[in-house]
Amino acid sequence: MGICYPLSQDDQRSYPEGFNGRVFIWDIDKTYLSTHFSSLKGMARIPIEFAIDKQAIPGMPEVLRGLRRGPGPEYAAAPLYFISASPPQIRKVVERKMLLDGVEYDGITFKDWVKTILKLRPGRLREQIGFKMCALLATRQNRPQSKEYLFGDDVESDAEAFHLYARLLSGRLSAGEAEAEMKSTGIKPDDRECIHNLLDRLGDVKGTVEKIFIHLEHQTPVDQFSHLAPLVVPVKGSVQIALACYQLNLLDLQAVRQALTARASSPAGADIQKLIQDALERGLISKKKYAELEIVEPAGG
């Protein structure tokens, strides 16, 4: 059976049978790159932008390179994938931008806009939860037992989609409960069937979602994600992502310092001390781990 959702998939990595290592999956838009597609005009501009037009969120390339490198002394080449609701026509532009940023990766999954329109389902261009779940399940087929870390934002219902996906993998939802919850989120019947089929193809032994990071691009209040804790962690920019990943031993000191330096030197860098203080207060990183970074303690810390 092929993938029923109109996806454009690319996976350049093979895995040994039973692989259960870490895998990092990032949304591209608003999580790695600062894109503008909230309007139809913005969506229409996406396919014709050049790589030089794509602006990375300050500090995010440093985090991505650090995750790929790993926390140990040897280069880990940790599996890194991207998922984007943008059309596959921008693949070359995104690949060029990643090359400019020094970001290595193993594959990208795009939403196929052309097939979506040809199937007379233009509503799928804006629908995100069904797309994200199908994309995640399709990408997981080659490594069903892996431990995933997901990175999204508060623009496209990533928290809800990723959290539901994690619970489906864990088996905490019965088939009936899963069907009811997917229906309540607005996922169409054929997309729900696709999700069930992709889940069945993974077999009985499934991996896990270890943590979900949601970049607060729209400054959504943190407490609005409390019902999804502790799996879902809302973070404000690359600073807090870097600190939280260091706490989980996903990044080394060098990567965190580079991310913080990149953010501090950006136009938005004036608030870096507030971001650090907030990270400490919310427990994204402990004071002991933060002290290892040898950075001046923020006021009141």
Is the pLDDT at 188 greater than 80? The verdict is yes
What is the DSSP track for the chain?
----S-EEEEE-----TT---EEEEEE-BTTTB----SSHHHHHHGGG--GGG--BPTTHHHHHHHHHH-SSSS-----EEEEESS-GGGHHHHHHHHHHHT---SEEEEE-HHHHHHTT-GGGGT--HHHHHHHHHHHHTT-TT-EEEEEEETTTTHHHHHHHHHHHHHT-S-HHHHHHHHHHTT--HHHHHHHHHHHHHT-S---EEEEEEEE-TT---GGGGGGGTTTEEEE-HHHHHHHHHHHTT-S-HHHHHHHHHHHHTSTTGGGHHHHHHHHHHTTSS-HHHHHHT--PPPTT-
Mean pLDDT of 194-221: 94
pLDDT tens digits, residue range 236-261? 999 999 999 999 999 999 999 999 99
| Lowest model confidence (mean pLDDT) among 18-27, 114-123, 154-163, 179-188 | 114-123
Whole-prediction pTM: 0.92
Tell me the domains of the chain and their CATH numbers: 7-235 (3.40.50), 238-301 (no CATH)
